[in-house]
Structure 1
Amino acid sequence: MTTKIVDSILERVLLGDDISTTEGVVLLQQTNPDAIAAIRNTANQLRQTQVGETVTYVINRNINFTNICEQHCSFCAFRRDVGEDGSYWLDWEQILAKATDAVQRGATEICMQGGLHPQAKLHGKSLSYYLQLVKTIKDEFPQLHFHAFSPQEVQFIAREDGLNYAKVIAALRDAGVGSMPGTAAEILDDQVRRILCPEKLDTATWLEIVSTAHQLGMPTTSTMLSGHIETPQQQIRHLSELRSLQQNAIERQYPAKITEFILLPFVGQEAPKPLRRRVGRDQPILTDALLLTAVARIFLGNEIPNHQPSWVKLGLAGATEALNWGCNDIGGTLMEEHITTMAGAQGGTCMEVETLQAAIKSLGRPYQQRDTLYHTRGQE
């Protein structure tokens, strides 16, 4: 009976229909190998129809400018207090050196995020400090795309300086920030957030800030931190919030929208002990991540066509396999990655372009370099 229900859902999906949250949960709860194979094949067919065979990648560098943070998220092994062993705060010269190295290695994008450091101010203002972060790199390398500052960082700056979100986003945009990472989303369900990240912005605020960015012409990405304490129902609710957010941007003809969806499976090896004990494992379960990857393509693909796995969290072999489950992009070179690595991830911190290309070629699919906004050579 269940297989018939799955087949019926998948038939409608291939006709271009959006599925309901109830149907999404049905797909996520499948354990029958034949049903799971059908979900994988459908996700792969949708990927081919929606974006084609080519797998894209971006040459980028992460710069996590500080790990000093006022918050205490239950999953985070990255944060430190001021003066704590292992804490750091990069100065302008160190940041510029990292950007220079990135450009010399062919990067088109700098991805910059950091801890919420209350002392990170210039002239007593948080926004002034963040604008200087942008200026330090953009003055030297105006051609670099600046993908930076999550909704959580926007909320932090706004709170510190007594500004509304639109003023913060517009100032960052005008300084040269080209897009906003859709991180700090974790699971967009406040019941989960109260346990996972009680000090972080709530679901409504995350959605408000991302929508405001779209209205102001700043594209965003979207993410989901999966495989910890959330249920399939909460996973689908998260996807539903993202789909509605994108539909709203499209219907209202905002000048920007979500460019991609990235699944971020939970790595718990170095996570704080209470959550680690509750989850009961150190590394992601690949089969769970792949099924969720496929269902995300099925649920979001009509609205968010670009899907990317995390080679940092799944390893390159796991991320390559995800390209058979609905993903069309393998992510970026990163050059350095601290947040997930400090959590105990085994995927590494840097990936050479040739390594990413070889992984894609192993599937018999073509590859192409892209920029942050998914423009490839020969496209405007």
Structure 2
Amino acid sequence: MNSVNAILNRALAGIDISPEEAVILLAQKDPEPISAIQQTADQLRQKQAGDTVTYVLNRNINFTNICEQHCSFCAFRRDAEEEGAFWLDFGKILEKTAGAVAENATEICMQGGLNTEAKIGGSSLQFYVQLVETIKKEFPHLHLHAFSPQEVQFIAREDNLSYAEVIATLRDAGVGSMPGTAAEVLVDEVRRVICPEKINSATWLEIVGTAHQLGLPTTSTMLCGHIETPPQQIQHLNLLRELQKKAVEKQYPAKITEFILLPFVGAMAPAPLRRRVGRDQPVLSDTLLLTAVSRIFLGNWISNHQPSWVKLGLAGAVEALNWGCNDIGGTLMEEHITTMAGAVGGTCKTPQELRGAIESLNRPHRQRDTLYNSIGHFLSYSGKLATAPASSH
């Protein structure tokens, strides 16, 4: 316990703890040190992000599940001729977008499978550009949070372009930020098992770093709770921290806006990995400890941390707000990838449901946009209306 306290005291003093120290924290099993870790993460959350819990009104659009890859955790992908395969046309995507705007959404989050037929004039990039421009023409003020590093690499490969050319073209077409998905675990030994056809760790880091240099903000994620070990989890967090430090120190025009922990859901995942993991749903206690250690390890550099209510359920996500998270995520309106894997959290939450969940903790809430700028007003836990500041931090 003494060594744990020493590590936590360093963190509370504003010092970055080392990867080795973070592994020590993750190794704790007894209630007393785990409670101390939780309390430290909560204190750092308050110091680094404040007491207000933020949320975003967004819609998730997965435009196709046709994918050339076969990740061992994925129950979403289909071959083109397979039952359940879909590929939404632009009209359907506009219809979904209009529905989101009618619900006052400020963001469309858009990702899809790697569909080699998704081309216009033989160009993969032109398909993605037209998809973006179709939405932005009708809804110019809507923020598009779209296309993962894996999709950028896929487009670049298909069209023989550099990552920078793809990112700059998508940015200029109207993409406002990049989801930091496809990271899974940034340890190639793990990736060779769970996503052998995906980009490797170095490529993910290169693409996200390039996005920052080109002024495109990104999020960051980790798929946890499957075959990875605690040291590998910390290896992943350390790579994210170093990536963010580089963006800050080199004064890139953009950086990572948030970190999201994505616990593995395996109920409908392919059988080999499901058997190897040995359970279908996340272990909440493990996720919460990793949530706390992530705040302690990353918080000086990435101040916004978000749980996944889709994967943990809303009650689990609310609990994570006591373990270092300051944001409860988005309304989503629809969600397919995790739900098709067997998640029990649901596919949609209304703003009222998210606000009610936050109020159960006696914490104030505030609507934000994708980049954590405040929108409108927020309610303090006293129930009095207060004017939101121009920025969340």
Question: TM exceeds 0.5?
Answer: yes
Picking from 164, 167, 170, the partner of 2:168 is: 170
**What does 1:362-377 correspond to in 2, within 5 Å?**
362-377=360-375
1:174-213 alpha-carbon deviations (Å, 9 max, x no partner): 0000000000000000000000100000000000000000
Are residue 236 (structure 1) and residue 231 (structure 2) matched?
A: no
In structure 2, C-alpha distance between the alignment counterparts of 1:197 and 1:363, rounded to whole Å = 38
1:75-102 alpha-carbon deviations (Å, 9 max, x no partner): 0000000110000000011000000000
- Quote the residue 1:379 is aligned against: 390
Are residue 111 (structure 1) and residue 122 (structure 2) matched?
A: no
- Quote the residue 2:382 is aligned against: none
SS in 2 for 1:127: helix
SS in 2 for 1:181: coil
- Quote the residue 2:21 is aligned against: 23
Picking from 21, 43, 46, the partner of 1:45 is: 43
In structure 1, C-alpha distance between the alignment counterparts of 2:390 and 2:212, rounded to whole Å = 22
Are residue 55 (structure 1) and residue 53 (structure 2) matched?
A: yes
SS in 2 for 1:379: coil
SS in 2 for 1:119: coil
- Quote the residue 2:181 is aligned against: 183
1:295-344 alpha-carbon deviations (Å, 9 max, x no partner): 00000000000000000000000000000000000000000000000000
- Quote the residue 1:78 is aligned against: 76
In structure 1, C-alpha distance between the alignment counterparts of 2:134 and 2:27, rounded to whole Å = 48
- Quote the residue 2:340 is aligned against: 342
- Quote the residue 1:227 is aligned against: 225
SS in 1 for 2:87: coil
When normalised by structure 1's length, the TM-score is 0.99
In structure 2, C-alpha distance between the alignment counterparts of 1:352 and 1:38, rounded to whole Å = 34
SS in 2 for 1:340: helix
In structure 1, C-alpha distance between the alignment counterparts of 2:69 and 2:173, rounded to whole Å = 27
* Structure 1 counterpart of 2:319, one-letter code: E
- Quote the residue 1:32 is aligned against: 30
**What does 1:140-289 correspond to in 2, within 5 Å?**
140-289=138-287
Runs of 4+, deviation exceeding 6 Å: none
- Quote the residue 1:92 is aligned against: 90
* Structure 2 counterpart of 1:92, one-letter code: F
* Structure 2 counterpart of 1:299, one-letter code: F
In structure 2, C-alpha distance between the alignment counterparts of 1:300 and 1:81, rounded to whole Å = 38
SS in 1 for 2:138: coil
SS in 2 for 1:139: helix
In structure 1, C-alpha distance between the alignment counterparts of 2:227 and 2:325, rounded to whole Å = 24
In structure 1, C-alpha distance between the alignment counterparts of 2:262 and 2:131, rounded to whole Å = 26
* Structure 1 counterpart of 2:191, one-letter code: R
Q: CA deviation at 1:136?
A: 1.2
- Quote the residue 1:131 is aligned against: 129
In structure 1, C-alpha distance between the alignment counterparts of 2:241 and 2:344, rounded to whole Å = 31
1:249-288 alpha-carbon deviations (Å, 9 max, x no partner): 0000000000000000000000000000000000000000
Q: CA deviation at 1:379?
A: 1.2
- Quote the residue 1:359 is aligned against: 357
Q: 5+ residue gaps in structure 2? A: 376-388
Report how many residues are paired: 378
Q: CA deviation at 1:355?
A: 0.3
Picking from 296, 299, 304, the partner of 2:297 is: 299
Q: 5+ residue gaps in structure 1? A: none
In structure 1, C-alpha distance between the alignment counterparts of 2:265 and 2:135, rounded to whole Å = 31
* Structure 2 counterpart of 1:187, one-letter code: V
- Quote the residue 2:384 is aligned against: none
* Structure 2 counterpart of 1:284, one-letter code: P
* Structure 2 counterpart of 1:270, one-letter code: M
SS in 1 for 2:328: strand
1:214-260 alpha-carbon deviations (Å, 9 max, x no partner): 00000000000000000000000000000000000000000000000
